[in-house]
Amino acid sequence: MASEAQTTQNEKKFVMAIDVGVTNVKVGLVGTDGQIEHFATHATPLEKGVAGVANALVNTSRGVLSEAAININELAAVGCCVPGDVNPEDGIITASAAPGWEGLDVRTPMEKSFGRPVTVEGDGEAATLTFYNFGPTRGQDHLLGISIGTAITCGFITDGKILRGAGASALMAGHMPLFLDGRPCSCGRTGCWEAHAGGGALRKLLAEYQEAGYKLPGLPEELAELAQAGEETSLKIWEEQGRVLGQGIAVLLDVLNPKTVVLGGGYAQSWSLFKKSLIKTARQMALTRNSEAAIVCAPNPEKAPLLGAAVAAIQAQGIDGFFNEPDDKQAQQGIDGGT
């Protein structure tokens, strides 16, 4: 009977993946080829509290299933990633920049809503699982993944396993206090890395520029369009963002000594605008013996946490061989490296 049940499980062709970010909730069905289908997104209603966010993710998920004409019990697994770190044993958020989310049990209410097991992972760890299981860095040990969205989250894989720490809250790198008397951070302190770089920090910076009379947009993606058109102030802002990101990465290079650093998250879609200053700063500030790590941007960086939620779910359910082996051409596509 166990063999028959496993066969039935292996015949299920999709995993439902959910990425709950500070800005948006994203849901997609991930196939055996690692491609995301029937994708939907919804603004994260943080102002409505935990119940409102849970409502949004459940409704968005049901909409995706309806569009695909798939029943939730026809899925191989369900995975979700959230901002911050999660204890994989109980699904409780151990550390998060989202106000009021630390200590929250994410898994139990989702399992009640869906009527089946749900795997919950931190978004930095989820993105790193994507980098470890797909693309040119597939199977590469000593791999540091950095997901840059509204916040900055990380994951590190060594000996094939994610570094968790004693309290399952290792690598809250976005809250490294890099700047004495720096900007206020969502964690309540000042000078944190993500208070000075990343999507949330950049939106606040743009508001300050607007108050000072600069005719600049309010969103990072709009600033990227302006910079790509050659607007001087926009280009300088992106260059400075690269320097600040590089400063934090230099610390991580010296602490973790990774072989490769891979950037993902929505902010990384503008990689070409801050790549040069980031890599230069990281290499200059890290110790020479640690500065030679490859620093690259993932293909489809904004989808990395979502895809990683699917990987985490498949692993948690113990389903072997769900994802197809990539051919050589697929394995080498899409990475944008540094020098």
In the chain, the domains with their CATH numbers are: 8-128+304-326 (3.30.420.40), 138-298 (3.30.420.40)
Please work out, in degrees rounded to the nearest 5, the angle formed at the alpha carbon of residue 81 by the alpha carbons of 76 and 83.
175
For the residues 195-210, what does the mean pLDDT come to? 96
- What does the CA dihedral 177, 183, 184, 185 come to, rounded to 10 degrees? -50
For the residues 155-171, what does the mean pLDDT come to? 92
Please give the helix or strand (H or E) that residue 260 lies within, else none.
strand 260-264
Strand partners, 27: 18, 40
Q: What span, in angstroms and rounded, lies between the C-alpha atoms of 145 and 147? A: 7
pLDDT on residue 187: 86
Q: What span, in angstroms and rounded, lies between the C-alpha atoms of 256 and 205? A: 30
Query: Does 1 score more than 50 pLDDT?
Result: no
Query: Does 325 score more than 80 pLDDT?
Result: no
pLDDT on residue 11: 65
For the residues 311-333, what does the mean pLDDT come to? 77
Alpha carbon 247 to chain centroid, angstroms: 20
Query: Does 27 score more than 60 pLDDT?
Result: yes
Q: Please tell me what DSSP assigns to residue 188.
A: S
Query: Does 165 score more than 70 pLDDT?
Result: yes
- The two structure tokens encoding residue 206: 């743009």
pLDDT band at 334 (very low <50, low <70, confident <90, very high): very low
For the residues 331-337, what does the mean pLDDT come to? 49
pLDDT on residue 51: 79
Render pLDDT for 205-259 as a digit per residue (tens, 0 to 9): 999 999 999 999 999 999 999 999 999 999 999 999 999 999 999 999 999 999 9
Q: What span, in angstroms and rounded, lies between the C-alpha atoms of 331 and 329? A: 5
Query: Does 44 score more than 90 pLDDT?
Result: no
For the residues 96-111, what does the mean pLDDT come to? 83
**18 CB contacts (<8 Å, ≥6 apart)?**
25, 26, 27, 57, 60, 61, 78, 79, 80, 81, 306, 309
Query: Does 10 score more than 70 pLDDT?
Result: no
pLDDT band at 7 (very low <50, low <70, confident <90, very high): very low
pLDDT on residue 2: 39
pLDDT band at 99 (very low <50, low <70, confident <90, very high): confident
Which pTM does this prediction carry? 0.90
Query: Does 204 score more than 80 pLDDT?
Result: yes
Start-to-end CA span in the chain (Å): 54
pLDDT on residue 329: 45
pLDDT on residue 338: 59
**323 CB contacts (<8 Å, ≥6 apart)?**
32, 33, 34, 133, 134, 311, 314
pLDDT on residue 89: 84
